[in-house]
């Protein structure tokens, strides 16, 4: 119960890693408000969570609209009296060849993966400062260290997430707000489950731990960084890729 009585907001919480983060936070005793992109997906995930937990609700503000995000954060802070943790998990991957890119697609990915992280941070930090501190954790990626052979917008966005994390850790430290990121490697999400076994095996052989990550692995790191056990950790990009060799 490391997060007992903490109020936690999780973006991108309806499936995959985000769903696992919400479930882990609930297991650790937190009050969780998770965001999704659409009412239908939020309602579906909420029904799943409420089978085991009471202290959870869902919302679907437009992460691209600062006013929409601010209004939701203000509502949460007014209802619960504080916001202790922001877990920024919303984002989109991409593997488009540079020869098939256009400016609109590049901007769309950057908007969701960077502005979709920045806007919730912008909305939550006044509340965290007023209450005397908090924790912000964002989902980066192993590609923020290694890059990838196609889909350049995605690693570009994750390099930006790292920059936000490290810079804001320095700026917000005096306000007792910790800022960290988790950088998953190959993880067993719905997308990866569709990859044929013959394609997965060579990937696994490049991972010294000889397995891909599970969403629950990433969620455990989030729970640690959100907890008081990580009270002196800030500005960290936590690599979680099984020491993958690229």
Q: By the 8 A CB rule, do 86 and 124 touch?
A: yes
Q: Among all residues, which ones are annotated catalytic?
A: 154
For tokens 């998990």, name the residue. 89
Report the phi/psi class of residue 35: left, alpha or beta, with left for phi > 0 and alpha for psi in -120 to 50.
Answer: beta
Q: How far apart are CA 14 and CA 141, in angstroms?
A: 19
Q: Which residues contact 38 (CB under 8 A, 6 or more apart)?
A: 60
To 5 degrees, how large is the angle CA 154–CA 62–CA 141? Answer: 25
CA distances 141 to 3, 112, 128, Å, are 25, 15, 26
Q: By the 8 A CB rule, do 115 and 165 touch?
A: no
């Amino acid at each position: 119960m490391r997060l007992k009585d903490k109020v936690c907001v999780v973006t991108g919480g309806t499936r995959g890693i985000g769903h696992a983060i919400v479930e882990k936070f609930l297991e650790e005793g937190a009050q969780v408000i998770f965001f999704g992109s659409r009412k239908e997906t939020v309602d579906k995930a909420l029904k799943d969570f409420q089978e085991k937990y009471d202290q959870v609700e869902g919302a679907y503000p437009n992460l691209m609209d600062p006013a929409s995000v601010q209004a939701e954060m203000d509502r949460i802070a007014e209802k619960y009296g504080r916001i202790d943790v922001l877990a920024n998990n919303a984002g989109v991957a991409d593997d488009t060849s540079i020869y098939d890119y256009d400016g609109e697609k590049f901007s769309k990915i950057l908007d969701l993966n960077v502005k979709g992280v920045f806007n919730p941070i912008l909305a939550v930090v006044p509340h965290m400062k007023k209450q005397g501190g908090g924790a912000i954790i964002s989902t980066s990626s192993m590609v923020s260290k290694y890059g990838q052979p196609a889909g350049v917008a995605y690693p570009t966005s994750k390099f930006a997430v790292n920059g936000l994390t490290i810079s804001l850790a320095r700026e917000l430290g005096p306000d007792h707000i910790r800022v960290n990121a988790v950088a998953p490697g190959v993880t067993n999400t719905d997308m990866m489950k569709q990859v044929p076994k013959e394609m997965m095996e060579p990937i696994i052989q490049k991972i010294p731990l000889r397995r891909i990550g599970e969403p629950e692995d990433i969620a455990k790191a989030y729970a640690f960084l959100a907890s008081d056990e990580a009270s002196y950790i800030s500005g960290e990009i936590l690599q979680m890729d099984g020491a993958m060799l690229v």
